[in-house]
Amino acid sequence: MSSEQSVPHANFSYPTAIRFGAGRITELAEACHAVGIARPLLVTDRGLASLPITETALDVLEAAGLGRAIFADVDPNPNEINLEAGVAAYRAGGHDGVIAFGGGSGLDLGKMVAFMAGQSRPVWDFEDIGDWWTRADANAIAPIIAVPTTAGTGSEVGRASVITNAQTHVKKIIFHPKVLPSVVICDPELTVGMPDFITAGTGLDAFAHCVEAYSSPHYHPMSQGIALEGMRLVIDNLPRAYANGGDLVARANMMSAAMMGATAFQKGLGAIHAMSHPIGAVYNTHHGTTNAVCMPAVLALNAPMIHDRFDMAASYLGITGGFDGFCHFVQDFNDSFAIPRRLSEMGVGNDRIDELVTMALDDPSCGGNPVTLDRSNLQALFEAVI
């Protein structure tokens, strides 16, 4: 065996049962029965609560004798206050499972309601640090069905949720293997009504997940392949979904890309997310749009470590010019969706950069960046994007 190589050693795990296709929201009650949920609580955000797609889901439940209980007191960046209210509603209603319904906020909070409803410790005790997840009573975690209504975060196939601490304005990742939903219903018809700017922002979030996973130095060849194909699906389908919200083929492919991004980033995230998490927590910016603004600067920082692998990726993605061509493509791609070039256009000030740098250094995404992140290069990154 070559002295320059070592035998790879890693732990792998992959997602869950997915019911994919147009109209499959009609199977929601059947999915509840399949996992033993008789009294579901549907958790979503305020914006979705009264929309027809949510009413349709509740109608399906009610017609099957499962009630139509809903909790929608969920902020765009959900926090522990929302979580406590959701757990209280879950317990008061005598529920035995959660339907996490919506974009990243509804999915993340719904998963956490199912997780925390049977726990006795505060949620921060289960942050994704070391083996803190083992502190949880795994038998008390309620079953979860996830129904995404956007194509971005991929939280429907994730084992964690991002919850913002309302006191410190820091985003925390809460992890447990049993937070993975038992069933996912991916119905592209549910995404048709997304405004174009949400279609773009969520789609670029999926793209960022794939790009960072592909860039990560960690060993996970399955994630590497999924990240590459996820990038291709976004490149080919996001412009179509943005131009024509009723294009169900493009919508379906974007839902696949979102799940692929979230699956792939088991391999790691990096500076894009280390920056966007504190920016979103402090300034309440849209996560996917923030990722998109940060991406060009992060690609430039990571160039020495990722140049060769993106030379190969560019050819597969139909992009000429290798890594440099990919970087030019990313900026043009952002521009085509009217993504700002600077975070200042999204209300982010340059007076708190030192604080943002400190928060970014504490973010677990730092560990997956190809170039080691420190105060100096993060300061330069924030200055470049704000």
Question: How confident is the model over 103-117, as pLDDT tens digits?
Answer: 999 999 999 999 999
Q: Which domains does the chain have, with CATH numbers?
A: 17-191 (3.40.50.1970), 196-385 (1.20.1090.10)
Digit-coded pLDDT (tens) for 331-362: 999 999 999 999 999 999 999 999 999 999 99
Q: How far is CA 232 from CA 253, 287, 326, in A?
A: 10, 21, 12
Does residue 8 register a pLDDT over 80? no
Does residue 201 register a pLDDT over 60? yes
- The predicted structure's pLDDT at residue 1: 40
Residues 235-260, mean pLDDT to the nearest whole number: 96
In this prediction, residue 7 has a pLDDT band, given cuts at 50, 70 and 90, of confident
Digit-coded pLDDT (tens) for 157-187: 999 999 999 999 888 999 999 999 999 999 9
Compute the C-alpha angle 209/211/213, nearest 5°.
Answer: 65
Digit-coded pLDDT (tens) for 105-162: 999 999 999 999 999 999 999 999 999 999 999 999 999 999 999 999 999 999 999 9
Nearest to 73 by CA among 105, 51, 112, 95: 105
Rounded Cα distance, 171 and 377, in Å: 21
In this prediction, residue 200 has a pLDDT band, given cuts at 50, 70 and 90, of very high
pLDDT above 90: percentage of residues in the chain: 94
Residue 40: phi and psi, rounded to 5, are -75, 150
> Strand pairing partners for 71?
43
Does residue 249 register a pLDDT over 90? yes
- The predicted structure's pLDDT at residue 2: 43
- The predicted structure's pLDDT at residue 9: 63
pTM equals 0.93
Residues 220-246, mean pLDDT to the nearest whole number: 96
- Average pLDDT, rounded, for the chain: 95
341 alpha carbon, distance to own chain's centre: 22
- The predicted structure's pLDDT at residue 371: 98
> Strand pairing partners for 165?
170
Radius of gyration of the chain (CA): 20
Residues 277-289, mean pLDDT to the nearest whole number: 94
Rounded Cα distance, 119 and 116, in Å: 5
- The predicted structure's pLDDT at residue 3: 44
- The predicted structure's pLDDT at residue 15: 82
- The predicted structure's pLDDT at residue 5: 65
Nearest to 155 by CA among 50, 232, 45, 248: 45
User: What is the SS3 assignment for 222?
Assistant: helix
